[in-house]
Chains A and B, each alone.
Chain A
Amino acid sequence: MTADSTLLRIVDEGDLLEVRFATDTIVDEVSIQDIAGELQELARGRETPRCIINFSGVRHFSSAGLGMLVDLNSTVQEREGCMVLTDISDTIREVFKITKLDRVFAIEATSAEARSNMG
């Protein structure tokens, strides 16, 4: 099932969620709070959430966006689920590296690889 909000494109396959962002720039605090709310609701609605956050097309991602992902990852971990970030551009990847969040998040090159490794 596919569900689109103004901010996210969500493919819900029951046991696996794949989320893409609807814009290339994720910096606006209010939008990030809205995205966080949506994703938290999705994660909390599942006993063992498995999700892919696909960064295809994202060119700008702020520290507030990073914070949103940190919180989401905590929610997923509390439920013994898994969350993988994929398709991150080299420049955004550098942001994850500088903040050492590449040590916190599971990151794969593509969503196909993530799906394969999730089983």
Chain B
Amino acid sequence: MQSDPPPYSLQESIQSTREEIERVMSSCLESLKACGHDEAAVFAIRLALEEALSNAMFHGNGSDASKQITVDVQITTDQFTASVTDEGPGYDPVHVPDPTADENLSIASGRGLALIRSFMTEVTLVPPGNCIQMRYSPGGAS
């Protein structure tokens, strides 16, 4: 009988660059597949983690490569959890206009958090808002 693959754990502080984000994404995606997560799960997690990291780099750290993004990812066969923290001042999501409201559909930005919330089972924005925690359990997306 084949044993479960070992859980995956990544805990790093990375520079705010596209190259570093892609390195982390690539490692996580490999582990998701190794842990047997299906295509739908991989798509959902990839989207949410990519959005969180991009938000941290672009909005949180102002695309300043010298600023760090702290990433903590845990992957098992039945769950994905991640925490992404930037060095920015944070924000209150209450002040982000609902991008799905009719009057906001023509606004170019502001959809990243809404997408993360749609694809993840649980999302928490930790005050002051420069840290996002998310969890995905198959069959439990909100």
Contact = CB atoms under 8 A, between A and B. Distances in A.
Nearest to A101: B105
Given A28-B18, A91-B43, A63 B105 contact: no
B68 to A, nearest CB: 18
Interface centre among B46, B57, B111 (most CB of A within 10 A): B111
Interface in B40-79: 40, 43, 46-47, 50-51, 54, 57-58, 63
Contacts of A68: 108
Interface string A48-80: 000000000000101110111011001000000
Interface stretch (B80-88, B112-120, B121-129): B112-120
Interface string A70-94: 1100100000000000000001000
Given A27-B50, A28-B18, A100 B105 contact: yes
B106 interface: yes
A64 B118 contact: no
Contacts of A91: 40, 43
B109 A67 contact: yes
A5 B126 CA distance: 41
A70 B108 contact: yes
Contact of A63 (B46, B100, B111): B111
A30 B107 contact: no
A60 B45 CA distance: 12
Interface centre among B18, B57, B63 (most CB of A within 10 A): B18
Contact of B106 (A30, A64, A98, A104): A104
Contacts of A60: 43, 46-47, 50
A4 interface: no
B141 to A, nearest CB: 11
Nearest to A71: B108
B106 A70 contact: yes
Interface of A: 27-30, 60, 62-64, 66-68, 70-71, 74, 91, 95, 98-101, 103-104
7 contacts: A27-B50, A62-B50, A63-B115, A70-B106, A70-B108, A98-B114, A101-B105
Going nearest first, the 6 A-B pairs with the smallest beta carbon separation are A67-B108, A63-B111, A63-B112, A100-B100, A98-B118, A70-B108
